[in-house]
Amino acid sequence: MTQPPAGPEKIDFTYSVNLVALLGKLRLTIAMSTYQSGKVVLMGQHQGRFDIRAKDFPRPMGMHARGGTLWAGLGHGIYQFGNFKAATDQLDEVQSFDACYLPQNIHFTGDVDIHEMEVCGGELYFVNTKFSCLCIKAPGQSFKPVWKPPFITLMQPLDKCHLNGFCARDGVPRYVTALGHSNEPLGWRANKATGGILMDITTNEVLAEGLCMPHSPRWHQGRLWLLESGKGTLSYFDFETRQVVPVASLPGFTRGLDMHGDLAFVGLSKVRESATFSGLPITRLAKRVSGVWVVNIKTGQILSFVEFTAGLDEVFAVSVLPHVRMELLGFDSPQSHANYIVDGGDLGEVRMPESPLERAAPHFERGNDLFNEHHKEEAIAAFRQALEIQPDYLPATFNMAVALGDLGRFEEALTVLQDVIDRDAAILEAYDSLGYVHYKKGDLAAAQAAYEKILTLDPGNHKAMNSLAILAREH
C-alpha cells in the first residue's frame, strides 16, 4: 500500500478488505477534501494495492468534477484543474497514472465559505455560505448572486442560515439544504438539531423541515438524496409522502456525498461534543469515525469503507472521478509550468519542442535566469539538464563554466572548457569563458593568453580587446 508522506500529523488509516477490488472494478478514484487539515486526499488502487496520497492545499472545501475538469473551493477562491493526460508521462512513476490534473484558472471570491458547487448549462454554480446565497462567477466580480432564500432580506457575510448543499436536476439548479430558517447573524445555531430545511429553489418551497443538520442533496436515479449529518444518515426525500426516508445509518457526521450507479460514497467526520455539535444524535454514539463509507443505495448495505484512525478527523467533500489512479498537482509543480492546452485548430502552428535543441533550450534559459538571480548552484543544475538533452549545446557549457568559476570551482570549470577546446580549437566563446575563469582564479597571465588567442582567430574582436584593457589596468 502507498502511504501518504509523514507530516506534522501522520495520517493513519484502515480499510475494508474489498475496497481495492471495488475501486479496481469500478476504475474510480475517490477525492476527498478536509479543510481542518488543509488537504485533498486521493484514494485509488495501483497494481492491486490501496493507493492513498494527501495533497496540501489552502483550506479545501467544496469540490465538483465533470468531463476532465475538477473545481475546488480553496482558501478564498475557486481553483479549476484540468486533466493534462500527456503530463502523466512526466511523473516520477511513468505510465502508472491515467490522469494528471493541473491548475488552469483561479477565480478569487474573497472569504465566502464556499460549500458545494455544480456545473449547470455551462455555468459553475456555488454555495456562498457566508452571504447565504447561491452564486455564479462573473468577470470583475467576486461573485454574482442568482438566488437566496426568501427569508433572507439582506445578503451579508454573517452566515445567517448556513446554506450549504446544492444540486441540479436535469441540468437545472434545483435543490438546496440549509441548517436553519433564520435571517439573523449565525441564527441557525439556535435550533441546529431540528432546524434544518430542504428547499426547491425554482418554487422557493420548503420540501422538508425539522431536519438534523442536512447536507449534500443529490438528484440521482430519479430520487432526491441527502444526508442528515447530525443523525449520521443517508436518506432520500419521498415526494409522495413528503417524508425524508433513511436508507443507511453510519458511524459519524455524514457530510460529502457522490453517487456512482447503485453506490453512494459518503464522507464521515469524527465530531466531538462541542458548542457546534452539542445535542446531536450522533454525539451519543459510543464511537464516531472519519473516512469514506460506500453504501448500496438499493439495499442500504454498507459495502466498503476507509477509516482514518489518526491525522484526519473531518471530511468536507467527496467526489469520485473516473480514473484508476490520478495525480493532482499545484501551481509550483514542474508539470504545471511545462504543459499547455490549446485549441485543436491551432496545433498546426503551436507545437511542443521536439528536437533535442528545442527541448534543451528551456533549461538553458532557466539556468540564465537563476544565474542572474545569484542562484549559481541551481543554475549549474539547469545547464547540466540542458547538456543531458543536447551534449554539444555550447552556450550551456560556457555559462556553466562561468557559474563554476564564480563559485570558486576552478578546476571543474577549466576541465569543461578544455574539453571543448580539445574538440574544436577555433571556438571563440570557449576562450572567452576560459579567460574569465582564469581571471576569477587570479591567474591574470593565463587570462591574458586566452583573450589574446581570440584576437589571433578574430583580430577585430572588441570584447577580447576590452577584456585585455581591463587586465592591463589591473597589472
Apex 327 CA angle, 321 and 331, nearest 5: 115
Residue 3 scores a pLDDT above 60: no
Distance, in Å, from the CA atom of 286 to the CA atom of 251, rounded to the nearest integer, reads 9
Write down the pLDDT at residue 278. Answer: 62
Of 419, 418, 467, 473, give the one whose Cα is nearest residue 447: 467
Write down the pLDDT at residue 94. Answer: 58
Residue 276 scores a pLDDT above 70: no
Residue 144 scores a pLDDT above 80: yes
Residue 91 scores a pLDDT above 50: yes
Residue appearing with cell numbers 479543510: 35
Q: How confident is the model at residue 368 (pLDDT cuts 50, 70, 90)?
A: very high
pLDDT, one tens digit per residue, over 298-307 is 999 999 999 9
Output the pTM of the full model: 0.79
DSSP readout, 28-91?
-EEEEEETTTTEEEEEEEETTEEEEEEEE-SSEEEEEEETTEEEEEETTEEEEEEE-GGGGGGS
- Name the DSSP class of 5: P
Average pLDDT, the chain: 91
- Name the DSSP class of 2: B
Which position has the higher pLDDT, 398 or 296?
A: 296
Write down the pLDDT at residue 279. Answer: 65
Q: How confident is the model at residue 272 (pLDDT cuts 50, 70, 90)?
A: low
pLDDT, one tens digit per residue, over 382-441 is 999 999 999 989 999 989 988 998 899 999 989 988 888 888 888 888 888 888 888 888
Residue 338 scores a pLDDT above 60: yes
Write down the pLDDT at residue 275. Answer: 47
Distance, in Å, from the CA atom of 398 to the CA atom of 376, rounded to the nearest integer, reads 14
Write down the pLDDT at residue 146. Answer: 97
Mean pLDDT of 208-216: 96
pLDDT, one tens digit per residue, over 310-320 is 999 999 999 99
Write down the pLDDT at residue 7. Answer: 45
Specify the 3-state DSSP secondary structure of 447: helix
Mean pLDDT of 282-291: 84
Spell out the domains of the chain, with CATH numbers in brackets: 12-345 (2.120.10.80), 356-474 (1.25.40.10)
Residue 286 to residues 149, 233, 457: CA-CA distances in angstroms? 37, 16, 88
Pairing of strands 233-238, 223-228: antiparallel
Instruction: Please give the share of the chain, as a percent, with pLDDT higher than 90.
Output: 69
Apex 132 CA angle, 138 and 74, nearest 5: 60
Cα torsion 24, 25, 27, 29 to 10°: value is -60
Instruction: Please give the share of the chain, as a percent, with pLDDT higher than 70.
Output: 95
